[in-house]
Chain A
Amino acid sequence: MAVPRMLWGKYFRYERAGEAVLLDPVGLDSVFIDSGEVRDLAGVPPTATHEALAGLGFTPGGPAADRREALHDRLRHLGLDAVPRRISGLRVVLTDRCNMACTYCFVDTNTGKPDMTEDELSDGLEFLFEQNAGQEEVSVQWFGGEPTIRFDLMRYGDRLADTLADRYGVARVRRTVVTNGARLTDEVLDHLVAYEYGVGISVDGPPGINSANRLLLGGRPADDRIRRNVARLVEAEGLHVGCNLTPTAANIGRLAETVRWIVDDLGLKFVYVNTPIPTAGRWQVKGADLAKELYEARLAALGRGGMLFSVLDRAFQALDTRRPMLFDHMQGDRSLNAALLPGNRVSLCDINFTEPSFLHTLDELRADPGLLAGVAKEVAPVPECGDCPALAVCGGPSRNEQALVGGDTPDPEMCAFYTSTLEIAVWDDTGVQ
């Protein structure tokens, strides 16, 4: 995608077939001008288009501002702060044991390290609820490895969570589990239904795609088993069942097809596409291609009565609400989902369980809540961010991405991804989205 030109030194100007969209990269206002207005804008000012644009706040005047500084000012003005207020959710890593051996998993599985103990789980949940006393909701997500391998801990934790919610006046516990779906006993299914779980099934696509990276430990594919178990989950009353889809070399180029299969064949109406993580030090997929594919896949899902969510949505949300959408891993109320790990440790980043700067004990976090700043995003860390139209949608690499790529400079494919998502979103103001 071409880099948009600038208008009056402060607006990005996207052009297509004689029409244009002007974007204020800090305020996130955008305006569509048709081909006649594009021609009028090239005339000697003030033309009718100049005046109409001025009425919408698009003017050539005003002091030239450093866009990174301007973004920081806007974040302050909107009360948007990168530092989390508290931990409101825990991804509980019960075990690193897994019955599958997916090639791209960001977790080191089947290492032989000990599982979480009941005492560690109790301590972690106690911390979560005490930190959220009187709040509307906390979230608990069982994670692994394959968390259902330690169903005993899930059951223990769910009962304890109810007790703790009463004790600390927490109105609701949102429970989710991330599973590969390859094993589902009746006992587990009954439990998930009883607690009205949200169940996220990790699937990459139809068997030919899924088995490229996702095989059982013995090397066989698990697709038939997964399909049967997904059907049981979908048929169960009261469960919210969705799919966690990871873009890989096997499904890039076929994401829309993959999503059609997930909705039509698996019967899953809710698809969440994981954001690429540069675990090997760089993005493994082409950013511009991924943006386009996500867009097509989202429309494929919507066209079938399904829903697809991904980081692409950030661009649409930012433009539609005129609010920067650049904080990763944080909820809208500035609370954080962290990961509870075996050994009474917490990772402030729920997709990185090993980076030392994210790891703290429960006692350390109790004693110094300021430690949460360790995961706070450093907004627009490099000067190049100031020249980027996606400044307020991307905001630069997260602390996790910085740790994985080894510096402040974002992966070029990440930049390509966010600039592409923005270009897609500026042109799509249709009723489809």
Chain B
Amino acid sequence: MPQARREKKDHLIYADVVDSKSKAGVWMGERASFQEKQNRIIEALKEQTDWVELKNAIMVIGTEPAGITVIAPNPTLPGVIVLADGGSPVTSAKLQAAAEERVRAVMGELGIAEEETAA
């Protein structure tokens, strides 16, 4: 189905992030001390979920194309997890492929061989 652009109203200059709430994720009601609150939320979530620590996981924000890519070490298997959201299937796939290619390139630079995947 064709997708109409999501609506977002009241781009208040100090509350821009709050007004993005219809777009993705869960947002806090105010910006003050948000990073400290994020830490508290994550710690509380750890109490309520089975979780594994992904040390050195990174989120990459890019513009070509626009989107977010999360790159994280696989905690149990010898690989690197790549998750991408580019707002559309093609863009997400592009971001995913570009990030995987970058991981491969880095592995090559570091002399780490890639495992052939099953056909």
A residues adjacent to B (C-beta < 8 A): 16-19, 29-35, 37, 49, 52-53, 56, 58, 292, 295-296, 299-300, 302-303, 305, 307, 309, 313, 316-317, 319-322, 424, 427-433
Contact = CB atoms under 8 A, between A and B. Distances in A.
9 contacts: A16-B65, A31-B2, A31-B3, A31-B5, A320-B11, A428-B87, A430-B66, A432-B24, A432-B61
A124 B47 CA distance: 59
Given A30-B5, A319-B5, A431 B25 contact: yes
B90 A433 contact: no
A322 B6 CA distance: 10
B49 interface: no
B13 interface: yes
A320 B6 CA distance: 7
A52 B62 CA distance: 31
A220 to B, nearest CB: 35
Interface of B: 1-9, 11, 13, 16-17, 20, 23-25, 34-35, 59, 61-63, 65-68, 85-91, 94
Given A34-B90, A321-B8, A431-B24, A303 B61 contact: yes
A57 to B, nearest CB: 9
A429 B90 contact: no
A296 B63 contact: yes
A313 B4 contact: no
Contact of B2 (A52, A317, A320, A430): A52
Contacts of A18: 90
Contacts of A32: 2-5, 88
Contacts, number: 103
B87 to A, nearest CB: 4
Given A295-B66, A303-B59, A307-B17, 18 more contacts: A16-B65, A17-B90, A17-B91, A32-B2, A33-B3, A37-B1, A302-B61, A305-B34, A305-B35, A316-B11, A319-B5, A320-B8, A320-B9, A322-B7, A427-B66, A428-B66, A433-B20, A433-B23
Contact of B89 (A34, A49, A317, A319): A34
Given A30-B4, A320-B6, A429-B23, A35 B63 contact: no
Given A296-B63, A305-B35, A321-B9, A430 B4 contact: no
A16 B64 CA distance: 12
Contacts of B35: 305
Nearest to B35: A305
Given A52-B1, A52-B2, A307 B90 contact: no
Contact of A320 (B5, B65, B87): B5
B11 A313 contact: yes
A303 B87 CA distance: 18
A7 to B, nearest CB: 12
A271 to B, nearest CB: 12
A111 B89 CA distance: 59
A37 B2 contact: yes
Given A320-B11, A322-B7, A299 B87 contact: no
